[in-house]
Structure 1
Amino acid sequence: MDLRESDDDKVFRASVREFVTARLPTEIRDRVLNFRHVPRDDYVRWQRILAANGWGAPAWPVEHGGAGWNATQRNIFDEECFTAGTPRQMPFGLSMVGPVLQKFGTPAQRDYFLPRIVSMEDWWCQGYSEPGAGSDLASLKTRAECVPRDGKPFYIVNGQKIWTSFAQWANWIFCLVRTHSDGRPQEGISFLLIDMKTPGITVRPIRTLDGGHDVNEVFFENVEVPDGNLVGEEHRGWAIAKYLLGHERTNIAGLGNCKRFMLRLKEIARTERKHGKPLIDDIRFRDRIAKVEIDLIAHEWSLLRAISAESAGRPLGPEASVLKIRGSEIQQELTELIMACAGPYAVPFVPQALEPDWSEGADATAHGELLNALAPHYLDWRKISIYGGSTEIQKNIIAKLALGI
Structure 2
Amino acid sequence: MAYDNAEQLEEFRLEARKWLEDNCPPSMRTPMRDDEVVWGGRNATFKNPDSKAWLDRMGEKGWTAPEWPKEYGGGGLSRSEARVLEQEMRRIKARPPLFSFGLWMFGPALLEFGNHEQKLRFIPDIVKGKTRWCQGYSEPGAGSDLAGLQTRCEDKGDHYLINGQKVWTSYADKADWIFCLVRTDTSTKHEGISFILFDMKSPGVEARPIQLISGESPFCETFFTDVKVPKEQLVGRVNGGWDIAKRLLQFERSSISAGGFGGTGGSGILGPDEYAKHHVGTDETGRVADGDLRGRIADHKMYTKAFALTVQRQTEQAKAGQAVGHTASILKYAAAKMNQDRHELLIEALGTEGLGWEGEGFDKGAMRVTRQWLRSKGNSIEGGTSEINLNVIAKRVLGLKEHQ
Q: TM-score, normalised by structure 1?
A: 0.81
**Aligned counterparts of 2:20 and 2:361: Cα–Cα separation in 1:** 33
- For 1:340 and 1:191, how far apart are their aligned partners in 2? 44
For 1:212 and 1:102, locate their aligned partners in 2 and report how far apart those are by CA, in whole Å.
33
2:168–2:219: 8 Å Cα contact kept in structure 1? yes
Q: Does 1:280 align with 2:279?
A: no
Which runs of structure 2 are paired with 1:57-72 in the superposition (5 Å)? 57-71=65-79
Query: What letter corresponds to residue 390 of structure 2 in structure 1?
Result: K
- d(CA) in 2 for partners of 1:362, 1:22: 42
Structure 2 equivalent of residue 36 of structure 1: 35
Q: Do residues 159 (structure 1) and 164 (structure 2) align?
A: yes
- The question of 1:180 aligning with 2:185 is answered yes
1: CA distance between counterparts of 2:84 and 2:347? 28
Match of residue 355 from structure 1:
none
The 3 A distance-change label for structure 1 pair 304 and 105 is closer
Q: Aligned equivalents of 2:231 and 2:150: distance in 1?
A: 19
Q: Judging changes above 3 Å, is the alpha-carbon distance between structure 1 residues 81 and 217 closer, same or farther for their aligned structure 2 residues?
A: farther
Distance 1:10 1:316, change over 3 A: farther
Q: Which has the higher contact order (CA 8 A, sep 6+)?
A: 1
Structure 2 letter corresponding to 1:91: S
Map 1:112-151 → 2, pairs under 5 A: 112-148=121-157
Deviation at 1:239, TM superposition (A): 0.3
What displacement does 1:27 show?
6.3
Letter in 2 for 1:222: D
Count of residue correspondences: 380
- Paired position in structure 2 for 1:226: 230
1:271 to 264, 278, 293: 278
Unaligned runs of 5+ in 1: 1-5, 352-360
Distance (whole Å) between structure 2 residues aligned to residue 17 and residue 390 of structure 1? 41
Q: How does 1:2-401 map to 2 (within 5 A)?
A: 23-24=23-24, 33-36=32-35, 38=37, 40-42=44-46, 46-71=54-79, 74=82, 84=93, 86=95, 89-148=98-157, 152=158, 154-183=159-188, 185-254=189-258, 257=265, 260=268, 264-271=271-278, 280-310=288-318, 312-350=320-358, 363-364=362-363, 370-401=365-396
Q: Give the 3-state SS of the residue equivalent to 1:209 in structure 2.
A: coil
Aligned to 1:354: none
Q: Is the 8 A contact 1:71 1:310 kept in 2?
A: no
Change (3 A) 1:324 1:14: farther
Could you give the per-residue CA deviations for residues 34-81 of structure 1, whole angstroms, max 9, x where no partner exists? 333647323766432311223132241333322233446546656776
Q: CA deviation at 1:371?
A: 2.6
SS at the partner of 1:346? helix
Q: Quote the residue 1:358 is aligned against.
A: none
- Checking the alignment, whether the CA contact within 8 Å between 1:129 and 1:162 is kept in structure 2 is yes
Q: Contact 1:279–1:341 at 8 Å: present in 2 too? A: no
Relative to the length of structure 2, the TM-score reads: 0.81
Q: Retained in 2: the 8 A contact 1:249–1:388?
A: yes
Contact 1:48/1:56, CA 8 A, preserved across alignment:
no
Change over 3 Å in CA distance of 1:99–1:392 after alignment to 2: same
Kept after mapping to 2: 8 A contact 1:345/1:364: yes
Gaps of 5+ in 2: 1-5, 39-43
* One-letter amino acid matched to 1:210: S
CA distance in 2, matches of 1:99, 1:35: 25
Root mean square deviation of aligned Cα: 3.4
Farther off after superposition, 88-97 or 225-234? 88-97
CA 1:13/1:329 → structure 2, altered by over 3 Å: closer, same or farther? Answer: farther
Is 2:401 aligned against 1:402? no
Residues 96, 264 of structure 1: CA spacing in aligned structure 2 closer, same or farther, 3 A cutoff? closer
**Whole-angstrom CA distance in 2 between matches of 1:86 and 1:120:** 15
How big is the shift at 1:219? 0.6
Question: CA, structure 1 residues 230+129, in 2 after alignment: closer, same or farther (shift >3 Å)?
Answer: same
Which residue type is aligned with residue 144 of structure 1? C
Question: Cα gap change, 1:273/1:314 in structure 2, threshold over 3 Å: closer, same or farther?
Answer: closer
Aligned partners of 2:347 and 2:373 also within 8 Å: yes
Identity of aligned pairs, percent? 37
- Contact kept? 2:279, 2:351, Cα under 8 Å: no
